[in-house]
Amino acid sequence: MTEKSLFKRILVAVDGSHTCLLAQELAVLLAKKFQSKVTLVHAVPEQLLDLGVKTPADIPKSVLEEISEWFVKKGEEILRNAQAIFSEEGVEIDARLLHGDPAENIINLAADKKYDLIVLGNRGETEAEVFSLGSNAEKISRHAECSVFIIKEKTKISKILVAVDGSENAQKGLHYAVQLAQKFNAEITVMNVMERRLFGLKPKVAQNVGEQVLSKAVEEVKGISVTKRLESGNPSEKIIEVANKEEYDLIVVGSRGLSRSKRFFLGSVSDDVSHHAHCSVLLVR
């Protein structure tokens, strides 16, 4: 596996939330370990409609301008507070205050400026949904052209679970996981989940194929110990189950596989994992 420095340019979405603070903490660590250039971005709504609020036609223009000004000042404050965190750690950053839909702004900026990674916090609207993606995080994770690091409970990275399916994207995900493990002194488990019903294979044949996928995934890994794990069942459910029960800190998954008829990793897996896993998720593109 060729060694290429990752995360040279990191875009961090900031909104003042708790998980946003965790995202900033992780971005600081990544910047220090990978010598990354960091850009902080906050988007303020251009109008009340951006907040999902129906604007009555009889609201005076002066009132709307006052509300807009408040959002701008709040956004500037959020950026200043975020900048202070990075400055205290000696990490130089660029800060941008944008206007309009946060997800679209972040997706477009990351694509236009060729960022390697977007780091953002996961936001649940209720306590019961604390591990689920908020609407902006969901849009970004699905549509960003670069890799996306979704922070949930914590910034510690000591146990990494890497999902592999034989695809090139999965192998790229493993490459990312290896470099993270080296920088954070973390353990890696590489897991393949065989969905037997999809192929109609006999258990022994399915096991042989799964073992080949695992062996191919790790054969190029150098300088780090990797544990192989073969499971059966629904891929996304099994990945989430293992990660939650065994308290992994991070799941690394390729965000796109090949066609369903040719691979063991369904296209919806990355969506399901990013939505429902308790730990942080790195979607690799």
248 band by pLDDT with thresholds 50, 70 and 90: very high
**Looking at residue 263, what is its pLDDT?**
37
Q: Is the pLDDT assigned to residue 253 strictly greater than 70?
A: yes
CB burial of residue 60 (10 Å; 0-12, 13-18, 19+): exposed
Q: Is the pLDDT assigned to residue 272 strictly greater than 80?
A: yes
Mean pLDDT value of segment 114-128: 75
Determine how β-strand 9-13 pairs with β-strand 117-121.
Answer: parallel
CB 149 within 8 A of CB 40: no
Phi, psi torsion values for 110, nearest 5 degrees: -60, -40
Tell me the pLDDT tens digit for each residue of 23-78: 999 999 999 999 999 999 999 876 554 444 555 556 677 777 777 788 889 899 99
Q: Is the pLDDT assigned to residue 246 strictly greater than 90?
A: yes
Q: Which two tokens stand for residue 80?
A: 């200043």
**Looking at residue 3, what is its pLDDT?**
52
Which amino acid is present at 92? Answer: E
Percent above pLDDT 70 for the chain? 83
**Looking at residue 56, what is its pLDDT?**
54
Q: Is the pLDDT assigned to residue 11 strictly greater than 80?
A: yes
Q: Is the pLDDT assigned to residue 258 strictly greater than 60?
A: no
Q: In what order do the strands lie in the sheet with 117-121?
A: 93-99, 37-44, 9-13, 117-121, 147-151, 280-284, 250-254, 159-163, 187-194, 226-232
Determine how β-strand 37-44 pairs with β-strand 9-13.
Answer: parallel
CA 17 to chain centre: 17
Which amino acid is present at 43? Answer: A
Question: What is d(CA 236, CA 255) in angstroms, rounded to the nearest whole number?
Answer: 12
The mean of the pLDDT values for the chain is: 84
Mean pLDDT value of segment 265-270: 63
Mean pLDDT value of segment 140-156: 92
CB 187 within 8 A of CB 165: no
198 band by pLDDT with thresholds 50, 70 and 90: low
Name which of 30-44, 74-88, 213-227 the model is least confident about.
Answer: 213-227
Domains located in the chain, CATH noted: 9-151 (3.40.50.620), 159-284 (3.40.50.620)
Name which of 40-54, 124-138, 263-277 the model is least confident about.
Answer: 124-138
Give the helix ranges, DSSP H, for the chain: 18-34, 61-88, 102-112, 135-143, 168-184, 196-199, 203-218, 235-245, 269-276
Q: Is the pLDDT assigned to residue 181 strictly greater than 70?
A: yes
**Looking at residue 125, what is its pLDDT?**
41
